[in-house]
């Protein structure tokens, strides 16, 4: 995890190394053409990476990446991590055992022994003089590439465009190392055949400018590799032992308690992140980005102890603002309490990547004034009793598609289908005035769509399908609610219940639609041509004025934004929707 600057250094250095490996693989892939193509590509490759700035950037990136990776492991208070992170760490540990011989024989041989480390030199070394190293080199290629691809995936997966680009990126991730290995192997087979000619082999050896330094080069490569392997083992052991000692020491100091809503209490040292505390205690806690403070999925609500918490950093505030989180919500991976605190994780542990990308603030739950439309088929039970199940399903699907298209074309959000009924929301992503205009337009479009559907099904229907529509507007609580696959954006509150009651009243008044006067006023629509009534809606103490619409197709579709009167009827409080 680590601080922001450390993560950025690790990312930048990793991207430099990934670029180096990519260009190296492209050079290898030229072997599918010929050895000459590989050597020509090598000249370009060396111009970039083996001269001046390129060398400094490359080896600086190696040092920085290794140091930042070790620091990240040291800063983690627990080694529990996702399988992808764990696999990436394991691959990284294999690199010092697989790649040093290749680097020391080529760059090391060139710098310290003046070797012309051409592709011919490397291929002869692997295919003729030490064929057992070919398998190590192939394994090293796959390990380095896989390690880099996992890191790249972890970095990009929260980008909005990544879902569409992922199939193409995966194709390249599989294709490039395959082409690199096939190019190297294909040329290798040709060289192995040519090497049977002693004259050709002597000429090739002379081109490497090795002279009598063959044994010295071999001693240098394998001797230095031993130091690298032993050094790596020592560093890893010291790191693990240091972590163990640090844990023992922390247990002797002052402790704080982090409490969870299910009764779990975790005693940890001050300054440990809440996410690490969850991991140490084996408590499942969502964290799509692995605790890097980027995805917001680990966020928690502070139930008690908020006054004693350290303030959020600028980076944490930026992520919290992106999801519209209130002051009582913090990121578990960034929150490091120094006193007792009670937290409540806000997302389930098995949360998906979808919850980690930038999403509208209202999905977290907000009070908004919107328009709500309910529609329901009349006497559909009677229709279903006289038809085969296939016919019922077919007719319903045709109806749902027509109604859904009418709602979406008008700019609304199709909330749900309830039996043979429809619930739609308008103005969720805009404002109340726009939502009311869209709701009226949707009501008219739905009535027209029903007429068209009746014409399409005229040979299958004993009588035309009929529907009732109720439209009301007001304050609601909007958010993403549900569980698992049944999660969706919906609204709850008195406005929703009232719209449903108005739809039911269409039976009583024998009309196709009932629209509240508040909707007409907000939409700037002239509804004076329709009959009005003062009705009592169950659950409301006051009567409300509504318009009775015999034929919903005649509903006006106002386009211009109307001025909304500042004074509303008593009990209809204007609530400004958050932006």
| pLDDT tens column, 400-435 | 899 999 999 999 988 888 877 899 999 988 889 999
Instruction: Quickly state the pLDDT bin for 95 (edges 50, 70, 90).
Output: very high
- pLDDT single digits (tens) 258-271: 999 878 899 988 88
- Structure-model confidence comparison of residues 174 and 562, the more confident one: 174
* Among the listed residues 341, 316, 355, the one whose alpha carbon sits nearest the alpha carbon of residue 480: 355
pLDDT of residue 514: 95
pLDDT score at 364 = 58
> What average pLDDT does range 390-396 have in this prediction?
78
Specify the number of domains making up the chain. Answer: 3
Residues 405 and 534 in one domain: yes
Q: What is the pLDDT of residue 568?
A: 36
In terms of residue numbers, what domain contains 541? 361-554
pLDDT at 358: 53
Closest CA to 314 of 290, 339, 331: 331
Question: What CATH code is carried by the domain that includes residue 400?
Answer: 3.30.70.1230
Shared-domain flag, residues 352 and 405: no
Q: Is the pLDDT of residue 397 over 60?
A: yes
Whether 408 and 504 share a structural domain: yes
pLDDT of residue 352: 60
Q: Do the domain assignments include residue 64? A: yes
pTM: 0.65
Whether the pLDDT of residue 206 is over 50: the answer is yes
CA pair distance 176, 34, nearest whole angstrom: 17
Q: Is residue 571 part of a domain?
A: no
Residue 83 lies in a domain: no
- In whole angstroms, give the CA distance from residue 68 to residue 74: 10
Answer yes or no: do 161 and 192 share one domain. Answer: yes
**370 lies in a domain?**
yes
Write the pLDDT tens digit of every residue in 122-132: 888 888 787 77
Q: What Cα–Cα distance (Å) separates residue 358 from each residue in 82, 298, 551? A: 22, 14, 42
With respect to residue 419, please indicate whether it lies within any of the assigned structural domains: yes
> In this model, does residue 62 exceed pLDDT 50?
yes
Q: Are residues 172 and 265 in the same domain?
A: no
Closest CA to 220 of 67, 114, 127: 114
Q: Is residue 88 part of a domain?
A: no
Please give the residue that has the higher pLDDT: either 437 or 134: 437
Residue 574 lies in a domain: no
Q: What's the CATH code of the domain at 323?
A: 3.10.20.30
Task: Select from 122, 138, 150 the least CA-distant residue to 178.
Answer: 138
**Last residue of one domain, picked from the residues 356, 373, 390:** 356
What confidence score (pLDDT) does residue 559 get?
A: 62
Among 42-51, 143-152, 169-178, 460-469, name the one with the lowest average pLDDT: 460-469
Q: Do 382 and 515 share a domain, yes or no? A: yes
> Domain end: 304, 321, 356, which one?
356
Average pLDDT over residues 111-132: 86
Residue 252 lies in a domain: no
pLDDT for res 322: 78
Do 380 and 335 share a domain, yes or no? no
Rg of the chain over Cα atoms, rounded to whole angstroms, equals 34
Q: Is 547 or 388 the better-scoring residue by pLDDT? A: 547
Neighbouring residues of 446: CB distance < 8 A, sequence distance ≥ 6? 375, 402, 403, 406, 407, 422, 467, 469, 552
- Verify that 339 and 375 share a domain, yes or no: no
Q: Same domain, yes or no, for 366 and 351? A: no
Last residue of one domain, picked from the residues 356, 376, 410: 356
Q: How confident is the model at residue 572 (pLDDT cuts 50, 70, 90)?
A: very low
Q: Residue 20 above 90 pLDDT?
A: yes
Q: Which of 148-157, 373-382, 461-470 comes out lowest in average pLDDT? A: 373-382
Select the more confidently predicted residue: 221 or 391.
Answer: 221
Q: Are residues 62 and 151 in the same domain?
A: yes
* Same domain, residue pair 291 and 327: yes
Give mean pLDDT, residues 7-34: 93
Given a cut of 50, is residue 565 above it in pLDDT? no
Identify the band that residue 18 occupies on the pLDDT scale cut at 50, 70 and 90. very high
Q: What is the mean pLDDT of residues 547-552?
A: 94
Residue 74 CA to residue 89 CA, distance in Å, equals 13
Whether 311 and 407 share a structural domain: no
486-526 per-position pLDDT tens digit: 667 788 888 999 999 999 999 999 999 999 999 999 999 88
Average per-residue pLDDT for the chain = 85
pLDDT band, residue 51 (cuts 50/70/90): confident
């Amino acid at each position: 995890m680590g601080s922001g600057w450390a993560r950025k250094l690790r990312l930048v250095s990793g991207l430099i190394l990934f670029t180096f490996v990519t260009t190296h693989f492209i050079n290898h892939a030229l072997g599918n053409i010929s050895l000459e193509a590989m050597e020509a590509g090598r000249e370009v490759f060396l111009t970039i990476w083996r001269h001046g700035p390129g060398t400094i950037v490359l080896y600086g990136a190696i040092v920085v990446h290794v140091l930042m990776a070790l620091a990240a492991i040291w800063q983690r208070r627990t080694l529990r991590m996702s399988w992808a992170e764990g696999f990436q760490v394991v691959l990284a540990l294999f690199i010092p055992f697989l790649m040093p011989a290749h680097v020391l024989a080529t760059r090391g041989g060139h710098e310290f022994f003046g070797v012309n480390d051409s592709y011919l030199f490397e291929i002869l070394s692997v295919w003729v003089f030490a064929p057992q190293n070919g398998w190590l080199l192939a394994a090293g290629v796959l390990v380095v590439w896989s390690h880099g691809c996992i890191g790249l995936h972890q970095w990009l997966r929260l980008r909005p465009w990544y879902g569409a680009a992922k199939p193409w990126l995966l194709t390249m991730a599989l294709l490039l190392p395959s082409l690199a290995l096939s190019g190297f192997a294909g040329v290798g087979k040709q060289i192995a055949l040519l090497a049977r000619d002693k004259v050709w082999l002597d000429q090739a050896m002379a081109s490497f400018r090795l002279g009598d330094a063959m044994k010295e080069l071999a001693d240098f490569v394998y001797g230095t590799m031993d130091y690298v392997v032993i050094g790596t083992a020592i560093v890893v052991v010291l790191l693990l032992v240091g972590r163990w000692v640090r844990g023992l020491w922390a247990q002797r100091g002052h402790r704080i308690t982090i409490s969870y809503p299910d009764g779990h209490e975790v005693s940890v040292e001050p300054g440990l992140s809440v996410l690490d505390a969850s991991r140490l205690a084996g408590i499942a806690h969502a964290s799509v980005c692995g605790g890097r403070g980027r995805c917001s999925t680990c966020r928690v609500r502070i139930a008690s102890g908020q006054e004693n918490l350290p303030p959020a950093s600028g980076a944490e505030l930026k992520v919290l603002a992106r999801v519209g989180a209130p002051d009582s919500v913090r990121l578990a991976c960034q929150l490091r309490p120094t006193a007792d605190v009670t937290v409540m994780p806000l997302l389930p542990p098995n949360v998906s990547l979808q919850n980690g990308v930038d999403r509208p603030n209202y999905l977290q739950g907000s009070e908004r004034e919107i328009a709500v439309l309910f529609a329901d088929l009349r006497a559909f039970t009677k229709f279903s009793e006289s038809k085969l199940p296939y016919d019922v399903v077919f007719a319903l699907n045709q109806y749902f598609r027509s109604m859904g298209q009418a709602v979406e074309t008008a700019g609304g959000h199709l909330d749900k289908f309830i039996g043979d009924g429809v619930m739609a929301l308008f103005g969720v992503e805009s404002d109340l005035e726009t939502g009311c205009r869209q709701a009226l337009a949707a009501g008219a479009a739905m009535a027209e769509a029903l007429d068209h559907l009746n014409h399409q099904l005229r040979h299958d229907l004993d009588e035309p399908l009929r529907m009732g529509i109720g439209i009301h507007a007001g304050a609601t609580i909007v958010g993403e609610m549900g569980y698992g696959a049944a999660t969706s954006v919906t609204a709850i509150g008195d406005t929703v219940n009232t719209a449903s009651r108005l739809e039911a009243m269409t039976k009583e008044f024998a009309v196709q639609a009932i629209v509240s006067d508040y909707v007409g006023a907000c939409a700037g629509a002239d509804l004076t041509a329709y009959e009005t009534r003062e009705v009592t809606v169950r659950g409301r103490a006051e009567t409300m004025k509504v318009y009775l619409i015999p034929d919903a197709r005649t509903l006006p579709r106002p386009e211009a934004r109307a001025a909304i009167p500042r004074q509303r009827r008593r009990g209809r409080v204007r609530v400004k929707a958050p932006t």
